[in-house]
Structure 1
Amino acid sequence: MRRRRPSAAPHPQHRTALAAAVIALAAGLLSPLPQATADDTRKATAAASTTAAAVTDHCGGQCDDILPPGQNGNATLAEILAHRTLGTRPAHSSDQIAKYDALVAGHQGLTDDKLTDFFNDGSFGVPEDQVASVIRPRDDVTITRDKATGVPHIKGTTRYGTEFGAGYAAGQDRLWLMDLFRHIGRGELTSFAGGALANQGLEQQFWPQAPYTEEDLQAQIDWIRTTKGARGEQAMADAQAYVDGINSYREKAKKGRYFPGEYVLTGKIDAITNVGEIKPFKITDLIALASVVGGLFGGGGGGEVQSAISLLAAQQKYGVAEGTEVWESFRQRNDPEAVLTVHDGSSFPYAGKPGNPRGAAMPDRGSVTPEQLVYDREGSARTGQAGRKDPVEAPKRLKPLQGMYDEGVLPGADFSKKRGMSNALLVSGEHTASGNPVAVFGPQTGYFAPQLLMLQELQGPGISARGASFAGVGMYVQLGRGQDYAWSATSAGQDITDTYAVELCEPGGGRPDKSSAHYLFRGACTPMEKLEKRNAWKPTLADSTAAGSYRMQVWRTKYGTVTHRATVGGKPVAYTSLRSTYRHEADSIIGFQMFNDPSYVKDAASFQKAAQSIDYAFNWFYADSRTAAYYNSGMNPVRAEGVDASLPVKAEKAYEWRDYDPRANTAAYTPAAQHPQSTGQDYYISWNNRQAKDFTAAGFGNGSVHRGDLLDDRVKKLVADGGVTRASLTRAMAEAAVTDLRGEDVLPELLKVLRSQPVTDPDLARGIQQLESWRSEGAQRKETAQGSRTYSHPDAVRIMDAWWPLLVEAEFRPGLGDELYGELAKSLSIDEAPSAGHGPTGAHAGSAFQYGWWSYVDKDLRRVLGQEVKGPLAKTYCGGGDLSACRGTLLATLKQAVATPAAEVYPGDDSCKAGEQWCADSIVHRAVGGLTHPTIHWQNRPTYQMVIEYPSHR
């Protein structure tokens, strides 16, 4: 008998003909998918009523965006099986990849008229002839999806209905992903999705950063309701409506059997009987989700223990005074040659080196040990079919899915890697062809399938926006556009996390050691709070890893969670990590609420004021028809006088954050005027570079060469020439996206040293000539023709990739010594080429060249060449400062690199064979569910990107 379709239909993506064709392959295991009816896929005339009263869109067709792989992030079991057996994919799951990929080859001849070849129309509403479907999950909200991308355009007549619709659409597009991430945030991924090492690694990364109990999560909700006034109450009401919408879809999808197929594959639901559960979502889940998102993209600081260890190594080698000078030159807190976002000379001092430092808690050499996290591990992470404790045999027709998640539901998606996060290019109207500001910007959140972000348009009482939101916390558009303004962000990473050394003690006056579980808090011996998370798993249809279990344990103090143990002056201490946004994971919801409110954001000044309510460390960029602007957000703690934010601090009242209250983790914070900000500067660029003069970056590596220079040099030239357009600014971004930073900004000095004398070795001469030719043509990693999968200068790229780690080690290790060189390399990775699987972001990640010793090599070689260097390294390392000796070092390492075959430079992995250079660089969308997607050309650009120019304003 034909199944009646629910009144609120699933997304049409779940009804593809190809997926339906393979249902026969799962006969007896799958119920038929619900069929479409006229009640659910409304005619285009129904959409007209949803757009008739639409707000005025001041972008006038000049707002475009792109977010690969596609809007649809859910797939039924039938669709997953069709994908695995026939190579098909559900509608709108992969339809933005080709446009995104094509910009690599298409940017050189780009004009404004051709932008839609590479971006989608980001206008409000859906034209009548472009309506794909319209549903009404409630009487007070309509969800209209367009034919081109399947993006939900949500229009509510009530605030509750609008937010309910947002949650319902999120369920349609990202239900499985949201479920995964609420379990990651709670440290329960392996119990939910299997015991593979990748899953264990994720929960072991995130849960220790935010080891919240259910009471902790609820307390954060109560804090927003009770301390944030009317906006806080509204935010939590919106969150509840959003959760209600998710749950409405969850219930209907379960009943109608069009829920994501991963629930069957991981044993949550029986495919035959439909017995099983998708657990209801709660507001506390949103806090858990927010902790993951904030930890990935909005944190900053920490790492003070490693900084202290590298400083001690420098002092051991050179003595305290000279060693400190050497270390500071590598730390580059306020390098005068660093590219800045605010480049008009404005100073915003923060977290700099104090003149008279006090309170530092330097560990005794060799005493530091990381805190143990994992206990009681049982079972193997991967055993295959043999030796499994609880065999799960896949039905014959589902054999293609057997063992699909043996490496984890997020195979290769290592969130523990540092993220290269986002870029922005904005030009003020006085330098554009139209006289209106132009912006090309977006978040660089990595490449996943489905994407962590999802697109939506929200129109309802007090809400008017379109753009991207992180799945599961999409009550508001987080990066996008309003009626007459647009905004985006880059991760700022300023120091909002400090390390305290709590002195250990024993109750009753016993002698403590490094394992003690009590500490001194304001003079009293206080017990640490032990938090535990137990995870057990068994094999499932898609995960054939052996059954097992383990326990995570974290000790929590009033100065944060314990990360290391050590001795300081012979006394045992625990080093703790205290983050200003800890226990305040969702407070930033107020700022996002303001961004979406057209009655609040009316100009640059009101936007900057709204950004002050974002507690995470972000750089915010704004553009309307009149003004381009910038503001750096973050809950920047006011530190005690003399405290060095780059090093561990004694856990004593005198060195606490000013007005620190451990009960709710609150303190005094720097006022808004002290945050880097600007309005109407000639142009702005940001690629996780330093924000402004005297604003100290949290980590190493903000010196004379930074990937932000790839943007700054190009935009500066555009501004000097004048007449900037959306296309020309996009071209600048796209050209930087395929440029090798080393080749553009460090190779010239390398070549000068090499050419300081004639080169007689024919192999070396040929290698140098290849590098020179590559550099003269832009040092790009780009195909000879689209689809060729061969770079135009493959030998030069191979030589550069092989040479860089060799030359850095040969240049610096002899002078620094093994210990100091090794510790500095832990503080800042030497290399982050696109193919560097060992680098900070890992292979196939897209993002590259953020972390590396580019500045160190540049400054050192310029000193050897006798050139002016502002903010030089304390010593000259290449050849001990002798040009001839330095040249010999570079030639020797270059000879090794020239002789290194491609198969060794690019050793191959699960995606590529050894020696496949283009493939080694390429971007792979990491599977977070049952679907995979085509590999695309490497490009170093935002994952979600907007191209914006407003011709008018309210």
Structure 2
Amino acid sequence: MRRWSSVLALSLVPLLAVTTLPPSASAQDDDYGYVRNILPPGENGTIDATDLLTVGPGLEAQEGKNAPPNFADQLEMYDELTTHAPYSLDKTDLGGLFKSAGFTPEQVVREESPRAGVAIQWDQFGVPYITGTTYGDVMFGSGYAAAMDRMFLMDALRHTGSGRLAEFAGGTPGNVAMDAAQHKAAFYTEEEATAQIDKIAGEYGAEGQRLVGGLDAYLAGINAGQDKLCPAGLVVAPTCPVEYALLGQQIESWDRADVIYIASLVGGIFGRGGGGEADNAAYLQQLTKKFGKLKGRALYRDLRTKLDADAPTSASVKTAYGDGEALGDKRRGVALPDLGGQTGPGSGTVIARERVQAKVERAEPRMDLPSGSFSLRELRQGMSNALLIGAKESATGKPVVVFGPQTGYFTPQLLNEQVLMGPGVHARGVSFAGTNLVVELGRGIDYAWSATSASLDNVDTVAERLCNVDGSKASVESEGYLVDGTCVPMTRNTPSETVHPSAGWQGAPATYTFLVLRTRHGIVQERTTVDGVPVALVAQRSTYGREVASAIGFARLNNPDYVKDAKTFQRAAHGIDYTFNWFYADNRDIAYFASGRLPRRAKGTAFDFPRWGDRRYDWRGWLGFDDHVREINPERGYLVSWNNRQSPKWGAPDNIWGWGSVHRSDALEDKVRRDIRGSRKVSLTRAVGIMADAATQDTRATSVLPSLLKVIGKDRRTTEARAALKRWARAGAPRVDRDRDGAYAHQQAIALFDTWWEDGEESVAYDVMGDRLGVLARDVPGNLDDHPRAGTGSAWMDPPYYSYLNKDLRTLLGDRTVREDLAFAYCGRGSLKKCRQTVRTSLRGAVTRVLAAQGVSKVADLTYDKSIDAIRHSTSGAVGVRDIDWQNRPTFQQVVAFERHRPR
């Protein structure tokens, strides 16, 4: 693929006409306080033929060497943070690690007025400042600027959202599987997608109509931007993104359905929670089969950690939602799919192929684009964090904040930064490419807001009884289902796409046809049996069919006439249907609101398990504003979130088993508590330092390793190993190379602990939990680990095993700070002597394996290749960027300290 890019660039050299614009200087301090931000790798995401030649054959752009302007400039700033000692940072350091985030450019590098009433200025970082005479003018400018910076990425995303990625980028197994997965998650015909906009507009009256008018202007702006870059649709034009010629694709105009497709893609990844009921049912039945019904159900409740009193929560208010600790599996509305039951195809299945040679059913859904391959679905583990220090604990007497979304690392970045200024909108920040008619995360005139994914339970699994309309006996192949005793045919769609060879894929032309089945509850995921009765398992998502509705809430956040204080911020956030934890700060208040269109469940159903599709078990409306978790200026003086639980009475959604006694949010909260208990007032630089310190901490080691070492005690066979592990734990378990000498400071301990925790099928977690659970210790519906090796930056997100070992071992050791004991002892079945033998044997085995793997005889000679942890940007275009050192940190991050405010 890189060779094809080079050939294309050389062929276009005669067409190029390079012009440069002299920069002009213009700066103005923010009138309300200190706001800076960062978004790697850079704002410019368009590569034309000239840029391709500049980058050269390696196709890796590096700032100061071969990168086009603003393509990788923020990457170097972002990477530099881990070279600083966290608690030595000062305001000068912040100035080099984050860029100014005001409403007036420090430098105007170029200007353009794409139509009357619209003015755009780009600053030295490539951020567009868009001013419009009318609201529609602002939206036109937003679409125009987005196309200039993200044209190809936006195109790839709209094709992915519509289930036509393979048609656009090539028929690789990954692309075809991605289309199948999207049909299964959020299928719409084009007519359905378009109709969604008018439907939502009708719900919101004048506010909705204004937004629709803005959407149409935004689409017109995108199309105008495409015409500017690729005049008359000419893909070999000097300014046209090179990827179109590489793929042999033409330029297509945008319409309303395209925005819905992208919104459905993004919302299906970040704005949902739940949907794990079938997995829960299977594990419960495995437990009861092995241990009997009484004990199996008790073990399930133990492992579920649904309302663990030891779990950290973002809010201190006790807002309740969910079943609590009750299983509910015996309720009349619960349907438990049979273990090992018959299965039939669900939506997304390829049902017809023409001229297809390779099978795609077992491929992982991925986006295979000209110079990169990545999975958008992995972003559900990306997530975000927030640290807000209230006025009473701040060194200045005013809130100090560092927060942002962690949405993975892409070239160009999925997030797109802009400044929008006009009637009813005055905001700066980021949005997902292709949805940026609003600023989704950022700042207003005198306030800032951000979010972390909440995973609140807005998805249920519904078991529809299958039937045949002709009255014949039902099977798992049936496409009818019972509604009030009547057999109703499912809605059946068969979308198809034809793929052709290109620089990204060299296969023969082929056509794929997919099956999509829908009931009144949603999209059929699979067909199986419950107590031998054929059923369809359907995913019912509260935001399905209304992805665009959340734009209302975002538009309110952008509007300074709507958001004037913490309370109006909460009201604005309530207009967002997606499930997010929202955070707010101005010069007086910090605030929190957990958004989501959350259903009220009917009696007879259980949050954890599938329910029957009978009408009596349908949802009973939605949670109102007062029933959502929300808080302003908490008494404890701070707000912390890293995708942990919301409130002490708020149950974990059915698909998350890891909201137990250990969560990565502890890495932030423990440090804040330490300062507050020590009567230290937290400055802005201190808050950034806390974030930076947590960003390189191994949560597994800090939460589990001390107890493991205490259980082992003095074991002569592991003396050297234990000493190395203990030194690392006492240092805070960092994984960081501050002097950039190429190695982590505690690389011996890191190499050993990684092997001890997860080494193929071997794990100390399986050893400890296996003392009671046996082989079922490996089948808990949650990951064993979330390691930086994934390359996405994010780590330590929600594996339940961290909490299991932390609580079980602390309890066994007599730690009285454990607030809620497990019902069962796992390691050694409650015998410290037996547990000690289990853990010692486990560590000895890990030492033997890691020494053999590295061909050394002593722990002191172990090494660790830190590049395993490196953040690797997923490249969606023709050019990528270099890997950077690992840090567990938001992708877009704001540093905020407001000093003033408009009259309240």
TM over 0.5: yes
User: In the alignment, does 2:290 pair up with 1:334?
Assistant: no
Which residue pairs with 1:162 in the alignment?
138
Which residue pairs with 1:9 in the alignment?
none
Distance 1:903 1:629 in 2: 53
1:499 match: secondary structure: strand
Distance 1:294 1:370 in 2: 28
Counterparts of residues 566-577 of structure 1 (less than 5 Å):
566-577=528-539
Residues 881, 831 of structure 1: alpha-carbon distance in 2 compared, 3 angstrom cutoff:
same
Which residue pairs with 2:63 in the alignment?
none
Equivalent position to 1:854, from 802, 806, 819 = 802
Counterparts of residues 712-751 of structure 1 (less than 5 Å):
712-720=669-677, 721-751=679-709
Distance 1:157 1:453 in 2: 26
Distance 1:789 1:727 in 2: 27
Distance 1:823 1:447 in 2: 30
Q: Read off the aligned partner of 1:788 and give its amino acid letter.
A: D
Which residue pairs with 1:69 in the alignment?
41
1:475-504 Cα offsets, whole Å, 9 max, x none, are 111100010000000000010000111001
Distance 1:527 1:354 in 2: 36
Which residue pairs with 1:672 in the alignment?
625
Which residue pairs with 1:891 in the alignment?
840
Which residue pairs with 2:239 in the alignment?
258
Which residue pairs with 1:137 in the alignment?
114
Contact 1:830 1:851 in 2 (8 A): no
Distance 1:808 1:355 in 2: 25
Equivalent position to 2:449, from 487, 509, 512 = 487
Report deviation, 1:198.
2.8
Equivalent position to 2:886, from 919, 931, 938 = 938
User: In the alignment, does 2:257 pair up with 1:299?
Assistant: no
Residues 213, 382 of structure 1: alpha-carbon distance in 2 compared, 3 angstrom cutoff:
closer
Counterparts of residues 355-434 of structure 1 (less than 5 Å):
357-367=331-341, 369=343, 371-372=345-346, 373-377=349-353, 379-380=356-357, 410-416=372-378, 418-434=380-396
Which residue pairs with 1:831 in the alignment?
785
Report deviation, 1:564.
2.2
Report deviation, 1:351.
4.9
Report deviation, 1:353.
5.0
Equivalent position to 2:70, from 53, 69, 92 = 92
Contact 1:333 1:702 in 2 (8 A): yes
Which residue pairs with 1:5 in the alignment?
none
Residues 493, 903 of structure 1: alpha-carbon distance in 2 compared, 3 angstrom cutoff:
farther
2:377 match: secondary structure: coil
Equivalent position to 1:611, from 565, 568, 573 = 573
Which residue pairs with 2:812 in the alignment?
864
2:555 match: secondary structure: helix
Contact 1:300 1:496 in 2 (8 A): yes
Contact 2:592 2:631 in 1 (8 A): yes
Bigger Cα displacement from structure 2, 198-207 vs 162-171: 198-207
Which residue pairs with 2:102 in the alignment?
123
Residues 323, 410 of structure 1: alpha-carbon distance in 2 compared, 3 angstrom cutoff:
same
Report deviation, 1:240.
0.8
For structure 2, the 5+ residue unaligned runs are 61-65, 232-236, 361-366, 856-861
Which residue pairs with 2:716 in the alignment?
760
Which residue pairs with 2:731 in the alignment?
777
Contact 1:76 1:261 in 2 (8 A): yes
Counterparts of residues 148-297 of structure 1 (less than 5 Å):
149-255=125-231, 257-268=238-249, 277-297=250-270
Residues 904, 457 of structure 1: alpha-carbon distance in 2 compared, 3 angstrom cutoff:
farther
Report deviation, 1:656.
0.7
Give the TM-score normalised by structure 1: 0.87
Residues 169, 606 of structure 1: alpha-carbon distance in 2 compared, 3 angstrom cutoff:
same
Report deviation, 1:554.
1.8
Q: Read off the aligned partner of 1:33 and give its amino acid letter.
A: L
Residues 821, 565 of structure 1: alpha-carbon distance in 2 compared, 3 angstrom cutoff:
farther
Distance 1:323 1:382 in 2: 40
Distance 2:852 2:185 in 1: 39
Report deviation, 1:105.
1.7
1:216 match: secondary structure: helix
Report deviation, 1:295.
1.1
Equivalent position to 1:923, from 867, 871, 881 = 871
Which residue pairs with 1:582 in the alignment?
544
Distance 1:626 1:685 in 2: 18
Q: Read off the aligned partner of 1:731 and give its amino acid letter.
A: G
Residues 546, 938 of structure 1: alpha-carbon distance in 2 compared, 3 angstrom cutoff:
farther
Residues 509, 932 of structure 1: alpha-carbon distance in 2 compared, 3 angstrom cutoff:
same
Which residue pairs with 1:687 in the alignment?
642
Which residue pairs with 1:815 in the alignment?
772
Give the TM-score normalised by structure 2: 0.91
Q: Read off the aligned partner of 1:309 and give its amino acid letter.
A: A
Report deviation, 1:67.
0.4
Which residue pairs with 2:93 in the alignment?
114
Contact 2:243 2:370 in 1 (8 A): no
Which residue pairs with 2:397 in the alignment?
435
Equivalent position to 2:293, from 309, 320, 338 = 320
Report deviation, 1:286.
0.5
Contact 1:518 1:528 in 2 (8 A): yes
Report deviation, 1:68.
0.4
1:446 match: secondary structure: coil
Equivalent position to 2:83, from 90, 102, 105 = 105
For structure 1, the 5+ residue unaligned runs are 1-21, 269-276, 384-404, 659-667, 836-842, 907-913
Which residue pairs with 1:272 in the alignment?
none
Q: Read off the aligned partner of 1:306 and give its amino acid letter.
A: D
Distance 2:596 2:186 in 1: 18
Report deviation, 1:224.
1.9
1:630 match: secondary structure: strand
Residues 179, 872 of structure 1: alpha-carbon distance in 2 compared, 3 angstrom cutoff:
same
User: In the alignment, does 2:739 pair up with 1:786?
Assistant: yes
Bigger Cα displacement from structure 2, 447-456 vs 411-420: 411-420
Distance 2:368 2:486 in 1: 49
2:880 match: secondary structure: coil
Which residue pairs with 1:881 in the alignment?
830
1:44-72 Cα offsets, whole Å, 9 max, x none, are 48x79xx8xxxx94433x10100001001
User: In the alignment, does 2:17 pair up with 1:59?
Assistant: no
Report deviation, 1:355.
8.4
Distance 2:74 2:276 in 1: 38
User: How many residues are aligned here?
Assistant: 858
Contact 1:640 1:657 in 2 (8 A): yes
1:197-249 Cα offsets, whole Å, 9 max, x none, are 33223223223111100121012111122111111111111111111111001
Report deviation, 1:370.
6.9
1:582-622 Cα offsets, whole Å, 9 max, x none, are 00111000001000101110000000001110000000000
Equivalent position to 1:700, from 647, 657, 675 = 657
Bigger Cα displacement from structure 2, 103-112 vs 370-379: 370-379
Equivalent position to 2:420, from 434, 448, 458 = 458
Report deviation, 1:723.
1.9
Distance 1:81 1:894 in 2: 53
Residues 89, 753 of structure 1: alpha-carbon distance in 2 compared, 3 angstrom cutoff:
same
User: In the alignment, does 2:123 pair up with 1:146?
Assistant: yes
Which residue pairs with 2:320 in the alignment?
348
Equivalent position to 2:281, from 308, 318, 324 = 308
Report deviation, 1:303.
1.1
Distance 2:525 2:711 in 1: 44
Contact 2:371 2:877 in 1 (8 A): yes
1:251-273 Cα offsets, whole Å, 9 max, x none, are 121115311100010012xxxxx
Q: Read off the aligned partner of 1:469 and give its amino acid letter.
A: S
2:793 match: secondary structure: coil
Distance 1:611 1:902 in 2: 53
Q: Read off the aligned partner of 2:834 and give its amino acid letter.
A: A
Residues 267, 25 of structure 1: alpha-carbon distance in 2 compared, 3 angstrom cutoff:
closer
Report deviation, 1:381.
5.5
